[in-house]
Structure 1
């Protein structure tokens, strides 16, 4: 049936509903508001810990020792700025990429943002359209809706006038119109839609790994912190001010204040960088996830080839009036796909026949058609589906398809197209040959993935020979298979996927099954696509990548949307993922090493304090005041970590993030902590020490710590490039400047004037650095990882 021309709401009706609040006011993204971003970055657990310690320090009257409180401001400001930048980028791109329903009103029918839909609006539907609000079908023409995203049931559901449709479902075939009955937060899938579009860091291997590390740190902090508090307050007899300052000096460096912040910044900067390339990241972990992918399933049409087509030839097979039939079929399709649009462009003069029945195109059947009474029943679709494979017409279609061209069969049927047994017996009338242009950047993109040891599987609904020809022209070698011959048993399907590269005549349910089969073999799978037939596979893949010009349904379920439709953007997403993974691993090494040596120092000093309590020996003050650990973190961790977290990094993503970080940071932290404690013990003068002697002992311990910790930075920065060497060198020079300036020494409570003690401290620091270096090489040998001092440029 044809669609009614009934008008929709008037402008006054719309205004009245807006005034009554009957609008679709669900946020396009469930991103945090500006006030929530500010609160979320200011009122954090780490800021709370540092804030309490700051108040304790200020109560002693030593303002300079409260300098670590600047971390609260820095952490909050950096986090707020980066998240606001990412929010602006995501919100801007989301508006460009979101589904725009076709709303019919008395003032005209036009695409509108989902937020502009009001109660009782009439919304038109076509293949691939996402249903944005709940409603009741008013008109339908062979309308079928997929509700699998809501119910899990993949079979399309036919819809008749009066049936309900739910937001979150999408149209797979036919056309229609429905009236909005529930809008905004009343709609069925409103909450689901909000949850799936959140700016979030969850479900991330990197994020979960950091959580494990933080949990491990917590287990260390509790006993070490309690021991430090007891020994510094109740065993040292140094006066409450000195005891409090030393206690805080022990506790502050145990807190990994920048680890979570640096991770969030790295992700947020990635979003902004990809946003400049018109890449919308619906879920942050997708940046990381695509860097871990080892199989990319690429749809041919719209991904490897451009969407547009043109009719290059029509080969008639013993039938006249082919042009009239093609023109009429194209004219009668209210929502033509790319193939029918190309036919409409080539045949613009329909004879004006009246359709008595229509059958929309479906990915599962591979044909569409119309019945025109005395003018016959006509179908158009895949030759290898509609014809006997042994026929001459089928052989000719196969020959043409082998050239990489798309071939459609126009044929007459002995049954009306709406007959349950359709298409029946098809008599070929013509072969319609369509040309598709291969994307000019597709070859380079496939070459990039090949160089990165990422397998490519081309999965298409087109003829297998044609798909194979296109894949071959792009340098993809391997056997091509017709998906109609694929086994259904998962293990056997996985075997076929391992041995073949390209697949044609793939049904939507098969695409999904192929993704599952690859995942069952331990592969991390990315699926690219643009059509409604790709939705199920996009949803179930580890990473779903949709084209911006594709169906609204495919964009809604994908984690990444390429708004400029450039397949060549994917390598940039991979590069961002590698940058995030590789740099956060470096940063984690720095922060965890600091926590390990801080906890070790606290435990060693605490045990010494307990022994003093038990055996009456000299108590041991913690070597550092808060200002000492603050300046130690400036150039060994804080500033270098920030730079390293944002730097380019093309190292391939590897599994075992937590294992590598722990095995690197634990021994290095122990080496730094042991060296620092040894230096302090040699310089410490005991209970009778003057204030100057205590300052000299603290300075000696700090010198040892800085030398060893700078070498940790030097190791973490490898493999070297000029700027990495400069980063390490400038960090070291910064401390030379601080120790060389009398004003800085006085401000930061430093005294390196005792040459013997300072020389000993430098020597022990160098021994600690040597230990860190040896540990790095030994770890490489034990883990089977090649250690490189200098970066080798990949060709």
Structure 2
């Protein structure tokens, strides 16, 4: 990897060259490269990737699996067994370590590959000029432009940038129009940066301060540009500092809960091992045997399969969501689906059909007026920035002949791109007689703010406060009918090279553009489903409050008072905290205001999801716990999102909520089962050790029992989850785990001790092998069978999935078969007498019935189970 200094020096050198010298230095062409040239350079320079190689990722992944605290503890205990000469125990624990690490590595490897395949379905592309044929449209310098994945860019490529684009490589600007870039990823500065072509790096300044360069990892906020690629992959500024960049991923409540449970069980094991050692050592005097037994108990207390269960759960959820047209880029997002209790979304395309049509175009008196459409067409068709659905609706409304006539008459001279503070866009056009006209399109309030006159029947009349009020009221009446209303204004301007925002004053108001986007048929059902699952839907839009409120009511969202963007700015954090709780619809919002609403909801303790697809949604997506976008979104938004919807529909999110909660539920089954089982086993061990003249179970038997149980639990991610459990958001509660363990754990000890008494009567003190074999079978069967009582609040009335049933049957069969198998003698086991089996069946049945009774009381007392 090249150093930051060498990359900066190269970029500084390139900044001193004029455009012709730069193109010549890169052996390029102003119209771009040919396909042959691109392929040759791709072979020479490699793909435009900053990430480490796959082999290194495998090594890191395997190291992470081996560095798990569970594995480390097992290895330490395995070493103790080896040093004390327990070869059978050493082999068994080593097998457990290999199985745990191997399964986790394989599961994470498969999940990673699956996630890569899913991400590949939503590729990020750049608009590239290409000499020769085969492009999609005419563009940069008369060349043909095409869309190429970022990774295929090479030095010398000529690219086109516009608002919402991610900068795909380090590049030098050839032309730029009001270009503003966010390069906080590289510089750490949150303020946007103005860029312009031809400016050198200021003397003594960092190359990042160069106005003529855009860097990989930056985002175009507004404006347009053409640029030539000067560096790709490791030869970019980002590539040179990649090792120093740390992108901290904030833990979810689920992550924190799993980690807390893991360390709780580990600490419990570390405390209990010395206690078991002491009890057995003092009661029997054989400290070597006591140590082996205590270590074996410690191994049984370590939930080494927990990482495997969690990863398998998340991977299964991601695959299930992909079948629902939702691509999960990060597996951790599945967790937050289940925890989400507030969903913030834009209106367009989620609540509406996303088929915006220009319904009418009116003059200042509300009459049909063709000149309004013609001016709007010139504004939408000739601007070079990001064309949204409104622009498309305008251009589609003009028939082909009139469009050709307008484009033949008028030529684009300059433009003042849209930004979210002005909320308007202007183009300057020139006709065949060299007359220059500035045409502005934007929200009614913001366009009117720059108007001093209005055009009516070919006459320009001055605008006073009463006229301004009438024009705003007329727009509100149209908005109340569900129409999205924009205004169009014009102004004759003198010829000059560059036009600035200040020239959007003294405009003449021409008329209104009224757009219709009807509510989506599926939206009302999706809102009901989300609400039924405990997810509050809040709409945050830049649209008119009356339009937003009308659409929300039509899809079943209770509106109440609509809060405007300026009210968000006026509220301090304390006031906003209350405002976001009471409010369902936020209108006329900017990107910063959207992000602040999400931040306030999270500060109030909510798990917030955000669905957006525009440049103005990127900041809010980064603030949300769960960021969701669509495949057609702009680059920066797709990159910021954890989940990409191939179909923009709230119904898909409702399915995601269900999958997330199913993932959480199945993980909690394993955690609570393991915690309560371990606690009960330790109580039984301590009681038996205190009163029996021999070990209640041999160390190797404990290890084999634990191995069989762990393998049976690998089916848990594929279990069913009760519908009632899916109806409410699920978040981790540490107190709930401790309470569950303390209540359910001792129940197994009751029947363990009862069976100890039976075995003492049947076998006596002179047959420890029979006693140990009997407890081995009872302990294993009770652990795997009780899964079917604990796995559901409804108990046996809720059927387990076939993988869980099969895993249970295999574990039971293994437990019953081992005493009769050829390996029984090596495990210290003997064939159990037939007289023991009725007592075993009675103990298991009594245990299941008692747990069911206690569960009924527990649910009534604490109103929860898993």
TM-score range, shorter chain: 0.7 to 0.9
Q: CA deviation at 1:447?
A: 1.4
Q: What is the root-mean-square deviation in Å for CA atoms of aligned residues?
A: 4.1
* Alignment-derived partner of residue 613 in structure 1: none
1:322-341 mapped onto 2 (5 Å cutoff): 322-335=372-385, 336-341=387-392
Contact 1:696 1:751 in 2 (8 A): yes
Is 1:171 the counterpart of 2:232 in the alignment? no
Q: For the residues of structure 2 that align with 1:653 and 1:470, how far apart are their CA atoms? A: 26
**Residue 172 of structure 2 aligns with which residue?**
136
Deviates more, 1:598-607 or 1:464-473: 598-607
Deviations 1:679-714 (Å, cap 9, x if unpaired)? 436645999954xx1122123434553565356424
- 1:222 aligned to 253, 270, 288, which one? 270
Other-structure match for 2:519: 438
Query: CA 1:731–1:93 in structure 2 vs 1: closer, same or farther (change >3 Å)?
Result: closer
Match status 1:695 vs 2:695: no
Q: CA deviation at 1:666?
A: 3.0
Matched, 1:26 2:50: yes
Q: Which residue of 1 aligns with 2:529?
A: 448
**CA distance in structure 2 between the partners assigned to 1:314 and 1:632 by the alignment:** 75
Q: Does 1:361 align with 2:418?
A: yes
Query: Which residue of 2 is the match for residue 185 of structure 1?
Result: 234
2:631 and 2:482 mapped to 1: Cα distance? 25
* Cα offsets for 1:521-575 (capped at 9, x unmatched): 3222221110001111111122221111111111111222213333321112111
Q: Retained in 1: the 8 A contact 2:182–2:220?
A: yes
Q: CA distance change for structure 1 residues 641 and 452 in 2, over 3 Å: closer, same or farther?
A: same
User: Offset at 1:766?
Assistant: 6.0
Q: CA deviation at 1:245?
A: 7.2
Counterpart CA distance in 1 for 2:654 and 2:801 is 28
Counterpart for residue 254 of structure 1: 301
Q: 1:271, 1:17 → 2: CA distance?
A: 37
Q: More deviation in 734-743 or 252-261?
A: 734-743
Partner of 1:205: 253
CA contact (8 A) 1:705 1:765 kept: no
Deviations 1:709-729 (A, max 9, x none): 356424312224452398679
The whole-number CA distance in structure 2 between the counterparts of 1:760 and 1:19 is 74
Partners in 1 of 2:243 and 2:642 — Cα distance? 14
Please give the residue correspondences for 1:388-787 in structure 2 after superposition, counting only pairs within 5 Å: 390-413=468-491, 418-479=499-560, 480-486=562-568, 487-604=570-687, 619-627=693-701, 630-631=704-705, 634=708, 638-640=711-713, 642-643=715-716, 646-648=719-721, 650=723, 651=725, 652-673=728-749, 675-677=751-753, 679-680=755-756, 683=759, 689-690=765-766, 693-702=767-776, 704-706=778-780, 708-709=782-783, 712-718=786-792, 719-720=794-795, 721-724=797-800, 731=808, 735=812, 739=816, 743-744=820-821, 747=824, 749-753=829-833, 755=835, 769=848, 772-773=851-852, 775-783=854-862, 785=863
Any conservation in 1 of the 2:341–2:608 contact (CA below 8 Å)? yes
- Looking at structure 2, the residues matched to 741 and 621 of structure 1 have their Cα atoms a distance apart, in angstroms, of 19
Inter-partner Cα distance in structure 2 for 1:64 and 1:729: 28
Moved more, 735-744 or 78-87: 735-744
Partner of 2:461: none
How many residue pairs match? The answer is: 769
Q: Contact between 1:415 and 1:423, CA under 8 Å: does it hold in 2?
A: no
Check 1:435–1:688 CA distance in 2 against 1; reply closer, same or farther (3 A cut): closer
Change (3 A) 1:72 1:689: same
The answer as to whether partners of 1:140 and 1:176 remain within 8 angstroms in 2 is yes
Q: Is the 2:266–2:301 contact (alpha carbons within 8 Å) kept by the matching residues of 1?
A: no
Residues 424-469 of structure 1: CA distance to partner in whole angstroms, max 9, x if unpaired? 2433323222232433332222111222232222111122211222
* Contact 1:406–1:462 (8 Å) recurs in 2: yes
Shift of 1:100: 0.9
Which residue matches 1:118?
Answer: 154
Quickly say closer, same or farther: Cα 1:32–1:501, change in 2 above 3 A. Answer: farther
Alignment check: 8 A CA contact 2:383 2:415 kept: no
Map 1:336-351; keep pairs closer than 5 Å. 336-347=387-398, 348-349=403-404, 350=406, 351=408
Counterpart in 2 of 1:615?
none
Decide which of 439, 442, 447 is 1:381's aligned counterpart.
442
